[in-house]
Amino acid sequence: MRDGAEDYEVVAKGRGARHRARREAPTYLPELRPRQRAWLQAWARTHQSTRSREALYKAHADLDLEEADALVDKLLHAGWVSLRETLQRGVWLWQSLQWRDLPALQQQLGLPTAQAQASDQTDWHDAMNAWLERLPDHHPLRAGVLDALADLSANRVPYRRKQERGALLRSACLWFDENQSGHRRDFALWARNDTKSITDTEWEWLDQHLGLAELSIQTFTPMVWLSGPLCLQWGHHSLDLGLLDHQAIPVHQLGSTTAIQCDASPTYWLIENRASFERQARLHRDKVVIWMPGRPTHAWLKAMDHLLDQAPGSVLISADLDPSGLAIVMAACQPWRRRQLPWRMHDMSVPLLHAARPWPLGPHDHLLLETLLAAADMPADVKALAQAMRDSGRKAEQEGWL
Residue 242 has pLDDT above 60, yes or no: yes
Percent of the chain with pLDDT over 90: 49
Q: What is the mean pLDDT of residues 317-342?
A: 93
Residue 364 has pLDDT above 90, yes or no: no
Rounded to whole angstroms, how far apart are CA atoms 124 and 360? 35
Q: What is the mean pLDDT of residues 299-314?
A: 94
User: Model confidence over 42-58: pLDDT tens digits?
Assistant: 998 887 889 999 989 98
Does the pTM of the predicted model rise above 0.85?
no
**213 dihedral zone (left: phi>0; alpha: psi -120 to 50; beta):** alpha
User: Model confidence over 166-182: pLDDT tens digits?
Assistant: 999 999 998 888 767 77
**114 dihedral zone (left: phi>0; alpha: psi -120 to 50; beta):** alpha
Amino acid at 124: W
Rounded to whole angstroms, how far apart are CA atoms 159 and 166? 10
Q: What is the DSSP string of 318-341?
A: E--BSHHHHHHHHHHTHHHHHTT-
- Per-residue pLDDT, 157: 79
Lowest mean pLDDT among 117-121, 303-307, 355-359: 117-121
- Per-residue pLDDT, 3: 61
Rounded to whole angstroms, how far apart are CA atoms 201 and 189? 17
- Per-residue pLDDT, 402: 66
Pairing of strands 288-291, 267-271: parallel
Residue 205 has pLDDT above 90, yes or no: yes
Q: Are 207 and 230 in contact (CB under 8 A)?
A: no
User: Model confidence over 84-130: pLDDT tens digits?
Assistant: 999 998 889 999 999 998 888 888 888 877 777 767 677 788 889 88
Return the higher-pLDDT residue of 2 and 71.
71
Percent of the chain with pLDDT over 70: 96
Residues 6+ apart with CB under 8 A from 362: none
- Per-residue pLDDT, 121: 73
Q: Are 6 and 84 in contact (CB under 8 A)?
A: no
Which uninterrupted H or E stretch holds 260? strand 259-261
Q: Are 328 and 356 in contact (CB under 8 A)?
A: no
Return the higher-pLDDT residue of 290 and 28.
290
Q: Quick one: which of 208, 209, 207, 187 has its CA closest to 196?
A: 187
Rounded to whole angstroms, how far apart are CA atoms 18 and 10? 7
Per-residue pLDDT band at 6 (split at 50, 70, 90):
low
- Per-residue pLDDT, 349: 93
- Per-residue pLDDT, 1: 38
Report the sign of the C-alpha dihedral through residues 100, 101, 102, 107, in that order: negative
